[in-house]
């Protein structure tokens, strides 16, 4: 998948995204926001914020920034911020590549990627950037579906891999490979959504 195919996929999804992926993915979003425990005044970055479904879940006073590569997804997010009257807490909604962010180092207390790592062209670059913009000693939270260890389900997911470009994510994505390749250490892994088919990873950002 390259950035143009990601943009094309989410241009198609934007109008129906909330109906298709709103309620199904919401337990994971709620869990992350609760687990973050962000305090008023702290700065949280959501990479791949999409249509901003998670933004109203944060406690008031937490300073939120959302970025996404898809203009159409962000248009929906901006309308939500206005409609829900949370503009005071949302510092910025910006069109930006999460693999090459223009934020300075250590800009955020916590950095979150919900249902994003298997959609980006290069998750190594994504994680490197998430670490860079997160303060040392801060927290990274990642929610994603990883390929099942069940041979039958995992086999089906592997067979679906060729359609990744069209649907906008990789169904054959393994958690152990992801952690080893990025060097992330998960302090906690929780199962969420539909029978625990998705995982929430809490990865503290090591202090320098």
With binding defined as CB under 6 A, does residue 68 bind ligand SAM? yes
Q: Which stretch binds ligand SAM (CB under 6 A): 97-105, 154-162, 185-193, 195-203?
A: 97-105
Our CB check for ligand SAM shows the closer of 58 and 208 to be 58
Closest residue to bound ligand SAM by CB:
50
Can you tell me which of 49, 81, 142, 164 binds ligand SAM, judged by CB under 6 A?
49
What are the backbone angles phi and psi of residue 15, rounded to the nearest 5°? -70, -30
Report the site for ligand SAM in 12-31 (rule: CB under 6 A). 21, 25, 29
Can you tell me which of 89, 97, 109, 172 binds ligand SAM, judged by CB under 6 A?
97
Binding residues (CB under 6 A) for ligand SAM: these are 6, 10, 21, 25, 29, 47-50, 53-54, 67-70, 73, 97-99, 114-116, 119-120
């Amino acid at each position: 998948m390259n950035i143009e195919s990601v943009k094309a996929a989410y241009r198609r999804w934007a109008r129906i995204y909330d109906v298709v992926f709103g309620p199904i993915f919401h337990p994971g979003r709620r869990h992350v926001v609760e687990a973050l425990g962000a305090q008023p005044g702290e700065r949280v970055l959501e990479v791949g914020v999409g249509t901003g479904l998670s933004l109203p879940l944060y406690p008031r006073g937490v300073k939120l920034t959302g970025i996404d590569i898809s203009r159409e997804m962000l248009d929906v997010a901006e309308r939500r911020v206005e409609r829900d009257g949370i503009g005071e807490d949302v510092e910025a909604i910006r069109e930006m590549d999460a693999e090459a962010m223009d934020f300075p180092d250590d800009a955020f207390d916590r950095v979150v990627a919900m249902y994003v790592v298997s959609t980006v062209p290069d998750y190594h670059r994504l994680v490197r950037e998430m670490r860079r913009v997160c303060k040392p000693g801060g927290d990274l939270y990642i929610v994603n579906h990883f390929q099942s260890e069940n041979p039958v389900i995992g086999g089906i997911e592997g067979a679906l891999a060729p359609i990744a470009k069209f649907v906008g994510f990789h169904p054959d994505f393994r958690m152990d490979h992801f952690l080893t390749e990025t060097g992330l250490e998960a302090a906690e892994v929780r199962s969420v959504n539909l029978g625990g088919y998705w995982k929430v990873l809490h990865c503290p950002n090591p202090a320098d």
